């Protein structure tokens, strides 16, 4: 009996320790609000938001990796016209609103899932308040290379945020209101998870074993206290949250952050937050950055099972942004001392793999990862001038949108291609499961590029510590 009590006490202590650690991490990321995005990774809040620009940035002393080009560096292997599918370019009025207007994904190596907003009037019933924000999303499954439509459907969704996440098994998740639905190549959607309030965002770890959700829930709701999410309408409970004393004094709904097991909906960690934040995590734990001397930041990996490991240090003039490319690799966006931002790739064993400078005339970056972690695509809006507090951005200053595809192991730039129309929330770039095909919406078509096999991460030449 005493042994069992000791075990339960240690379990409660471990949960409390992680709750405190997660609270600190989420408090750090909540200092920077994330705009909604359709790409696989959220928009980078530390990279020259045109409306919160840094006037101290200066031109760089060497060429950046993401310059704007009028045409791709490689010819597309094949092209699928988008207009016959029902897609029409959104008007320029949407630029800057960060609305999710499309989603392009590989179901497998030879099939694309293309979903997009269908313009037009929507029938509404008098007094139906829920229908006010309704919009229709058209979904089509396309066979490659001929682009034949193999399945099609229309889904109603009720806001302008990201609505689709691709899974590695040919399935995908669709978010609407307070629920998640799961679908496959048939485009039939089935209930997957239900939350006590509107689901605002979702992130998956590189292995897709875990997912992090942000949901707006009633203050002190029983589900918020227990951390519950309902898989297929059957509730499961997780760990407790922090005390309810931290409830919103104005009586507004709580923003509840959960990390759940995707297969079961079981809650691993749960906490309240003040704003939607990006918490970088893999199947083992989450990244925490601590400010050191000057512009140095110490990087820690906090394990879900307990314990912490130091990964290394980076130099940055702002809070670094972290995105897991794979279970073993982390992409860090830092603010360079003189010039635009800098990308730093490091392994989870502390090796610095590669780095790349970015242009001071590119804003609102989004990152898309290959399912196997072999490649990543970074897309940005290209501007006519560096954006500063003294030189703000107007729609007329946007030249277009660029996509740059890097090998994850060594940072080699494999493809640079324009994307049009510009979709500032992303959703117009996809990488196939093998990393060898890249699809981009451009010039009224889906252009599919074929690349050579990417080098494995273990072949990376650099082996110096990240500091």
Query: In angstroms, what CA-CA distances link 169 with 82, 107, 184, 318?
Result: 26, 8, 9, 37
The kind and range of the H/E element at 257 are strand 254-261
The more confident residue out of 338 and 232 is 338
- Cα dihedral 265, 269, 273, 279 sign: negative
Contact, 295 vs 337, CB < 8 A?
yes
Contact, 378 vs 366, CB < 8 A?
yes
What are the residue boundaries of the structural domains of the chain, listed by start? 30-120+131-239+253-465
CA distance 234 to 236: 7
CA distance 154 to 403: 28
Across residues 103-118, what is the average pLDDT? 97
Contact, 256 vs 300, CB < 8 A?
no
Name the band, by pLDDT with cuts 50, 70 and 90, for residue 45. very low
Chain mean pLDDT for the chain: 81
Maximum alpha-carbon separation in the chain: 72
198 by DSSP, 3-state: which?
Answer: coil
- Within 10 angstroms of residue 296's Cβ, the number of other Cβ atoms is 13
The pLDDT score that the predictor gives to residue 395 is 80
CA distance 87 to 138: 9
Closest CA to 15 of 310, 302, 306, 236: 306
Evaluate the omega torsion of the peptide bond into residue 444 and state whether it is cis, within 30 degrees of 0: no
Across residues 416-423, what is the average pLDDT? 95
CA distance 200 to 177: 8
The kind and range of the H/E element at 28 are helix 2-29
The pLDDT score that the predictor gives to residue 23 is 52
Contact, 231 vs 192, CB < 8 A?
yes
The pLDDT score that the predictor gives to residue 308 is 96
Tokens read off for 214: 């942000």
Q: What is the pLDDT of residues 379-413, one digit of tens each?
A: 999 888 887 777 787 888 888 999 999 999 999 99
CA distance 371 to 349: 21
4 by DSSP, 3-state: which?
Answer: helix
Q: What is the pLDDT of residues 158-173, one digit of tens each?
A: 999 999 999 999 999 9
- CATH fit for domain 30-120+131-239+253-465, picks 2.130.10, 3.30.70, 2.40.160, 2.60.120: 2.130.10
% of the chain beyond a pLDDT of 90: 58
- Is it the case that residue 187 has pLDDT exceeding 60? yes
β-sheet bridge partners, residue 63: none
């Amino acid at each position: 009996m005493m042994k069992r009590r000791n075990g339960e006490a240690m379990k409660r202590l471990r949960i409390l320790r992680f709750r405190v650690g997660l609270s600190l991490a989420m408090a750090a990321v909540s200092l920077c609000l994330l705009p909604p995005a359709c790409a696989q990774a959220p928009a980078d809040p530390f990279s020259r938001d045109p409306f919160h620009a840094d006037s101290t940035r200066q031109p760089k002393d060497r060429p950046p990796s993401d310059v704007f080009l009028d045409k791709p560096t490689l010819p597309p292997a094949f092209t699928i016209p988008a207009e016959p599918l029902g897609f029409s370019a959104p008007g320029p009025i949407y630029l800057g609103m960060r609305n999710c207007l499309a989603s392009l994904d590989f179901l497998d190596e030879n099939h694309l899932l293309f979903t997009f907003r269908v313009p037009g009037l929507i029938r509404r019933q008098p007094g139906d308040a829920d229908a006010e924000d309704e919009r229709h999303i058209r979904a089509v499954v396309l066979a490659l290379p001929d682009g034949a439509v193999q399945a099609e459907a229309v889904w109603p969704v009720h806001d302008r945020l990201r609505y689709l996440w691709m899974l590695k098994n040919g399935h995908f998740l669709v978010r609407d209101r307070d629920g998640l639905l799961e679908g496959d190549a048939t485009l039939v959607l089935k209930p997957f998870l239900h939350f006590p309030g509107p689901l605002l965002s979702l992130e998956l770890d590189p292995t897709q074993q875990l997912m992090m959700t942000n949901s707006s829930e009633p203050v002190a709701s029983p589900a918020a206290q227990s951390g519950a999410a309902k898989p297929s309408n059957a509730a499961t409970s997780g760990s407790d949250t922090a005390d309810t004393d931290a409830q919103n004094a104005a009586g507004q709904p709580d923003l509840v952050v959960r990390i759940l097991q995707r297969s079961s909906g079981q809650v691993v960690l749960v906490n309240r937050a003040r704003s939607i934040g990006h918490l970088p995590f893999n199947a083992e734990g989450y990244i925490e950055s601590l400010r050191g001397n000057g512009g140095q930041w110490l990087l820690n990996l906090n394990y879900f099972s307990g314990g912490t490991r130091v990964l290394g240090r980076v130099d940055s003039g702002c809070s670094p942004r972290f995105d897991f490319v794979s279970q073993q690799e982390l992409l860090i966006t830092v603010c360079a001392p003189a010039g635009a931002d800098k990308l730093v790739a490091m392994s989870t064993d502390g090796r610095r793999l590669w780095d790349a400078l970015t242009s001071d005339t590119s804003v609102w970056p989004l990152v898309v990862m290959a399912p196997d972690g072999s490649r990543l695509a970074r897309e940005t809006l290209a501007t006519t001038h560096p954006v500063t507090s003294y030189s703000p951005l107007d729609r007329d200053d946007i030249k277009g949108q660029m996509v740059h595809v890097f090998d994850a192991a060594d940072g080699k730039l494999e493809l640079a291609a324009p994307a049009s129309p510009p979709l500032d929330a992303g959703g117009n770039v996809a990488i196939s499961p093998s990393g060898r095909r890249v699809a981009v919406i451009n010039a009224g078509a889906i252009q599919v590029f074929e690349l050579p096999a990417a080098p494995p991460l273990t072949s990376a030449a650099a082996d110096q510590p990240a500091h």
